[in-house]
Amino acid sequence: MLVTGNDILVPARAGKYGVGSFNTNNMEITQAIIHTAEKLRSPVMVQMSEGAIKYGGQDLANIVKDIAERATVPVALHLDHGSSYASALKAIKMGFTSIMIDASHHPFEENVHETRRVVEAAHAMGISVESELGRLGGIEEHIVVDEKDAFLTDPEEAVRFIEQTGTDYLAIAIGTSHGAYKGKGRPYIDHERIEKIASLTSIPLVAHGSSGVPAEIVQRFRDSGGEIGDAAGIADEDLQRATGHGIAKVNVDTDLRLAMTVGVREVLKASPKEFDPRKIFGPARDVMAQVIEHKLRVLGSVGKA
Ligand SMILES: O=C(COP(=O)(O)O)NO
Ligand SMILES: [Ca+2]
Ligand code: NA
Ligand SMILES: [Zn+2]
């Protein structure tokens, strides 16, 4: 069933498990996410960035809503990295049930102002809101944040931000970054910071940049003709520690991008004569389902629906 982000995340924080929030850009990705969640009796969030909305529009949003409404587990449709009040309102009009307003690259007061506007509008429509404080490294869809500008979330500031905005859940910068290159080897996750923020707050916390970039998928990507550098993602153990301390929503995009591409490349390489789209995108859907299954097990949301 299609529900709001709060419906899914408030129990997750209380239950000390994480809920995967997976980015989608087409039907097969959406099916892999929701069908795998149903198979494992897990709540799940499907998110679309502004780029995905540009790419698939209401067509894609309707596919997600329709599969979510018929699903036998709770599913929210979430706007990922909403960049403005207007973008948030448009997504609500499209039927999104959870909205991120990401104004974290602005100074604190401006971030508060922007976030509070969206919270008031979204709450009037019964929609829950994610906002962000602190700055991840890596590439956020609409801005490049290089290391020197990335800054981790200050716990006391987080308390003030939540009080002043009324945000329902909060994305915090704790060492993760977007994309396939999260740092040399195992990216450093500031668990003390997570645990401090969790001890001072009671709303669900969000970890962006939480793809694991599994070595097996990276190897298959290379073996099937893909080119990728020394990619590294967040370690399963780091995610498990974090979900035990306030992190309730865990954003994953890169892993699905890699998995889908591996599926397609492997078919095209093995069967050069193949041109049936079902034979090309079907196996890609299966690789994504395997990656999603692993993530749901790591996050501990299996059986929670
Ligand atoms: O935070 C993410 C995705 O992060 P990854 O690149 O690690 O999948 N989306 O908002
Ligand atoms: Ca941001
Ligand atoms: Na988000
Ligand atoms: Zn993100």
Ligand 1 pocket test target in 206, 238, 252, 295 with most atoms within 8 Å of CB: 252
Quote the DSSP letter at residue 23: E
* 167 annotated to bind ligand: no
Q: Looking at 80, 154, 168, 255, which residue is catalytic?
A: 80
The residue nearest atom 5 of ligand 1, judged by CA position, is: 209
Task: Give 40-86 pLDDT, tens digit per residue.
Answer: 999 999 999 999 999 999 999 999 999 999 999 999 999 999 999 99
Query: What's the pTM?
Result: 0.96
* Domains of the chain and CATH, by start: 5-299 (3.20.20.70)
Note whether 88 and 79 are within 8 A (CB).
yes
**What is the ipTM for the molecules in this complex?**
0.98
Nearest to 264 by CA among 279, 254, 245, 244: 279
Note the ligand closest to the C-alpha atom of 256. Answer: 1
Across the chain, where does the E strand assignment appear?
Answer: 19-23, 44-49, 75-82, 98-101, 128-133, 138-140, 143-145, 169-172, 205-207, 247-252
Pairing state between β 143-145 and 138-140: antiparallel
Q: With bands split at pLDDT 50, 70 and 90, how would you rate the model's confidence at 136?
A: confident
* 132 annotated to bind ligand: yes
Known catalytic residue at 80:
yes
Q: What is the pLDDT of residue 187?
A: 80
Pairing state between β 128-133 and 138-140: unpaired
What is the mean predicted confidence (pLDDT) over 197-222?
A: 98
CB of 98 closer than 6 angstroms to any ligand 1 atom? no
Q: What is the pLDDT of residue 141?
A: 46
Query: What's the 176 CA to ligand 2 centre distance in angstroms?
Result: 12
Atom of ligand 1 nearest to the CA of 80: 10
DSSP 85-147: HHHHHHHHHHT-SEEEE--TTS-HHHHHHHHHHHHHHHHHTT-EEEEEESB-BEEETTEEE-T
Q: Apex CA 304: angle with CA 300 and CA 305, to 5°?
A: 140
CB of 177 closer than 6 angstroms to any ligand 1 atom? no
